[in-house]
Amino acid sequence: MDARDYFGYKNPDEEPGGPDPADAADEDGDRPPLFEEAVTLDDPATLRRIDPDDMLGRVMELPGQLVQARHVAAPITLDERMTDVDAVVVLAMGGSAIGAELVAAAAGDRLRVPLIVHRDYGLPAGAGERTLVVAASHSGETAETLSGFAAAQERKLPTAVITTGGRLAASATAAGLPLLQYRLGGQPRAAIGFGVGLVHELLARGGFIDGPDDLGAAAAAVEELLERIGPSVETDANPAKQLAWAIFGRIPVIYGHGPMAAVAHRWKTQLNENAKAWAAWEPMPEANHNAIEGSINPRELGEALYVIQLRDRAEPPAIAERYRVVEELLGERSTNRNEVWADGPSVLSRVLTGVAYGDLASVYLAILYQTDPTPVTLLAMLKERLARATGSDPTGAR
Residues near ligand F6R (CB under 6 A)? 93-96, 137-139, 142, 145, 187-189, 273, 376
Structural element, H or E, at residue 341:
strand 336-342
Name the minimum Å distance from CB 365 to ligand F6R: 16
Sorted by sequence, the CB contacts under 8 Å of residue 78 that are 6+ apart come out as: 132, 160, 178, 202, 205, 206
State yes or no: is 339 an active-site residue.
Answer: no
Active-site residue identified among 61, 141, 273, 315: 273
State yes or no: is 273 an active-site residue.
Answer: yes
Report residue 331: phi and psi, to 5°.
-60, -45
Residue 314 is given by DSSP the state T
Instruction: Give all strands (DSSP E) within 170-273, no chain letters.
Output: 179-181, 251-257
Q: Which is nearer to ligand F6R, 96 or 353 (CB)?
A: 96
Least Cα distance to 106 among 217, 263, 222 occurs for 263
Q: Which is nearer to ligand F6R, 54 or 214 (CB)?
A: 54
Cis preceding-peptide flag for 239 (omega within 30 of 0):
no
CA distance 69 to 360: 21
Active-site residue identified among 224, 234, 327, 383: 383
Active-site residue identified among 27, 289, 300, 328: 289
Name the minimum Å distance from CB 243 to ligand F6R: 22
Name the minimum Å distance from CB 383 to ligand F6R: 7
Name the minimum Å distance from CB 179 to ligand F6R: 15
Q: Which is nearer to ligand F6R, 40 or 96 (CB)?
A: 96
Amino acid making up residue 156: K
Residue nearest to ligand F6R (CB): 94
Cβ 100 vs Cβ 90: under 8 Å: yes
Name the minimum Å distance from CB 168 to ligand F6R: 8
CA distance 203 to 70: 12
Cβ 242 vs Cβ 295: under 8 Å: no
Q: Which is nearer to ligand F6R, 139 or 288 (CB)?
A: 139
Name the minimum Å distance from CB 137 to ligand F6R: 3
Name the minimum Å distance from CB 286 to ligand F6R: 24
Four-residue CA torsion sign, 46, 52, 54, 55: negative
Q: Which is nearer to ligand F6R, 131 or 142 (CB)?
A: 142
Q: Which is nearer to ligand F6R, 138 or 257 (CB)?
A: 138
3-state secondary structure of 351: helix
Q: Which is nearer to ligand F6R, 42 or 144 (CB)?
A: 144
Least Cα distance to 227 among 218, 214, 243, 238 occurs for 238
Other C-beta atoms lying within 10 Å of the C-beta of residue 240: 26
Least Cα distance to 134 among 155, 148, 114 occurs for 148
CA distance 121 to 323: 37
- Active site residue ranges: 273, 289, 383
